[in-house]
Amino acid sequence: MPVFGPGFSRRLLAAASALTLTGSAGAQKRAPDTTSEGPDIPHQTVKATLADGKEHKCSEQRPQDFLIRKNWFPATTNADEIKAAKALFQQSIDFRTKNYGHFPGFGSAKDNKKAPAQNAKLTTFMGVGIQINERVIPALKCVEAALIAGHLDAEYKPGALSGLRLKNSYRGAEISNHVYGIAIDIDPNQNTCCSCVAPWPDHPLCKKKVASVYERMKMPRSWVIVFERYGFYWLGHDVLQDTMHFEFLGDPGKIVED
């Protein structure tokens, strides 16, 4: 079931701005995303022990473009480009519904009779419990294995994780990946979202003058690099600059080798 109609562009733009600051003040608070200046983290062959009790070789993969949030909001009035963005957004809804569950008002129940919550399982990441979609658990285990193999687990110890949500935190036509159980927030009290609504702009790290968005979080940049090798997308790249947030945008069928 398509989620867009005549008012799609208006509703999607409203969703895009629902969590962001408006006006020049908000723009000034966004820090540069100096992705290319990150540390050189060697690629390693890692294995993760999954629910079957066996070790599986982890496969690296990039987030899929049609699932990346910023690609749904073209900065244009060109009708063809807006139409292409709508198609990407609908593709993302259909993909998430088929793979992770049907959430009322988004996609078709014909594609998946189960709700995302019915596909969620409890697991742990770095010793901290979290409930996420069971299809994404292997990806999180691969990230954990890679961090440990690279001795990057000593750089940071997460204290709180947030995964599955039962309510959509976005407004309008958009839906949060937390609803599907494929997004995780790491230590929200320490890793900021400076372009989100209040009270975030008042966080000390958001008021601090920085050369990069990576300076507005406690989590090390090395963790972002490793997460994104295994299909996760860091929302620090987004206009929201949500540094706590990772979402699995890879192919759940390609996380490990059989």
Asked, for residue 47, whether it belongs to a domain, the answer is yes
Q: At 127, list the tokens.
A: 């010793």
Calpha distance 53→74 (Å, rounded): 45
Asked, for residue 134, whether it belongs to a domain, the answer is yes
Q: What is the mean pLDDT for each group of 10 consecutive residues in the chain (258 residues)?
A: 44 44 47 89 94 95 96 90 94 98 95 97 97 98 97 97 93 90 96 90 91 96 97 96 97 94
Asked, for residue 82, whether it belongs to a domain, the answer is no
Calpha distance 137→141 (Å, rounded): 6
Q: What was the pLDDT predicted at 29?
A: 66
Asked, for residue 59, whether it belongs to a domain, the answer is yes
- Number of structural domains the chain divides into: 1
Query: Structural domain of residue 192, as residue ranges?
Result: 22-63+115-257
Asked, for residue 96, whether it belongs to a domain, the answer is no
Calpha distance 168→219 (Å, rounded): 26
Q: What was the pLDDT predicted at 16?
A: 44
Q: What was the pLDDT predicted at 31?
A: 92
CB 255 within 8 A of CB 191: no
Asked, for residue 239, whether it belongs to a domain, the answer is yes
What are the φ/ψ torsions at residue 88 (nearest 5 degrees)? -60, -45
Asked, for residue 90, whether it belongs to a domain, the answer is no
Asked, for residue 6, whether it belongs to a domain, the answer is no
**pTM above the 0.85 mark?**
yes
Distance of CA 232 to the CA centre of its chain: 6
Q: What was the pLDDT predicted at 258?
A: 76
Q: 90 to each of 4, 129, 166, how far by Cα in Å?
A: 8, 32, 21
